[in-house]
Amino acid sequence: MVQAWYMDESADDPWRPHHAEPDRPVSLEQLRRLGVLYWKLDADKYKNDPALEKIRRERNYSWMDIITICKDKLPNYEEKIKMFYEEHLHLDEEIRYILEGSGYFDVRDKEDKWIRISMEKGDLITLPAGIYHRFTLDEKVRAM
């Protein structure tokens, strides 16, 4: 199950958890109120998963790609990692489904505070259009 929390203000090493002190967990309901939606799926059967197909159909997702992020498979790895971690937003929903590994999606709440969402294999989230976010991950992640 996905976990989320408010982050500390440190800019050091984005790959660390960066829990606020004291710890301030964020529930799925709090994420939902921000427009962030979550599903837990079976990543081993993503190619033929009826649950994934249902989500794609209901949300009109017609396109997908798979990216494997590790130094030996992603050209310009260091540049890409920095780019993923730069705060940005999209005019459309962003969808990420972790097929292998783990990583963090950070989103800004309505008060401009960072919430860190820890994602692992089988976690699928959608971010609403217009929400500021960034993504950092380890070398094992493979996302769709």
Residues whose CB falls within 8 Å of the CB of residue 54, separated by 6 or more in sequence, listed in order: none
Known binding residues are: 88, 90, 94, 133
* Phi, psi values for residue 77, rounded to 5°: -50, -55
Q: Would you say 106 and 7 are in contact if contact means Cβ atoms under 8 Å apart?
A: yes
Q: Would you say 3 and 85 are in contact if contact means Cβ atoms under 8 Å apart?
A: no
In whole angstroms, give the CA distance from residue 133 to residue 141: 18
Known binding residues for Fe(2+) are: 88, 90, 94, 133
Q: Structure tokens of 14? A: 């984005």
Q: Pick the closest to residue 19 from 140, 130, 137, 117 (CA basis).
A: 117
In whole angstroms, give the CA distance from residue 40 to residue 110: 25
Known binding residues for Ni(2+) are: 88, 90, 94, 133
